[in-house]
Amino acid sequence: MLEVAGLSAGYGPVQVLWDVDLSIGQNQVVALVGSNGAGKSTLLRALSGMIPISAGDAAFRGQKLGGRSIEQIVDLGIAHVPEGRRLFPGLSVRDNLRLGGWRVNNHDISGVVELFPPLGSRLNQVAGSMSGGEQQMVAIARGLMGRPDLIMIDELSLGLAPRIVDEIIERLPEIAASGTSVLLVDQDVDAALSIAERAYVLETGHIVLSGSASELLADRRVRESYLGIA
């Protein structure tokens, strides 16, 4: 579905990513993990058209992403849930969700409410007044309202209690099984690898490890560097 080959990107003269290779298949949950500042968010921004790809490229269902606008990439079927949720804080939960489905004329919020039941009683609540976990549910649900083939979620666990992270992250395989592949970016390596099929480790802009999530969980380097287990 998504093939990234030799991708390099950054911000003006500052290069952040070097020769990144990554692939995501249909109905897959793929994790991209690494420490803060490794370039994980930069990769998502390059894939969603927020910053230009300076070398290499990525293709989604055979369509190259380099040089396309954000709107064109969304229309190809890629949704991006950014770090920090970035909701419309003054609008209700219902209106935030409906805005997510605007480009595909989707106003039916029942499916995402079924996926995240706590939202059902919060639809009229102003999004900015919700807890961090509830806002993250709204952000993911809003991305799904566009009926994407791939949803990229940046730092799902940031600032959230472990119980809430578990509640949300357990939904990702269900999302993938329904037809929307998931690229999960997170510093919580244990949580991300626990639900992913494949995973990539990014360090200082380079992919340094890749394989099945179970292989990486068992890898000594991952256990020592990211899980604190010798």
C-alpha torsion 11→14→18→23, nearest 10:
-10
CB 209 within 8 A of CB 226: no
Give me the residue spans of the domains in the chain.
1-20+41-76
How many whole angstroms separate alpha carbon 135 and alpha carbon 111? 17
Q: How does DSSP classify residue 92? A: B
pLDDT 10s digit of each residue in the chain, 230 long?
999 999 999 999 999 999 999 999 999 999 999 888 899 999 999 999 999 999 999 999 999 999 999 999 999 999 999 987 889 999 999 999 999 998 898 889 999 999 999 999 999 999 999 999 999 999 999 999 999 999 999 999 888 888 888 999 999 999 999 999 999 998 888 889 999 999 999 999 999 999 999 999 888 888 777 766 54
How many whole angstroms separate alpha carbon 192 and alpha carbon 195? 6
The verdict on pTM exceeding 0.75 is yes
- The amino acid present at 7, given as its one-letter code, is L
CATH code for the structural domain at 1-20+41-76: 3.40.50.300
How many whole angstroms separate alpha carbon 156 and alpha carbon 168? 8
How many whole angstroms separate alpha carbon 63 and alpha carbon 88? 31
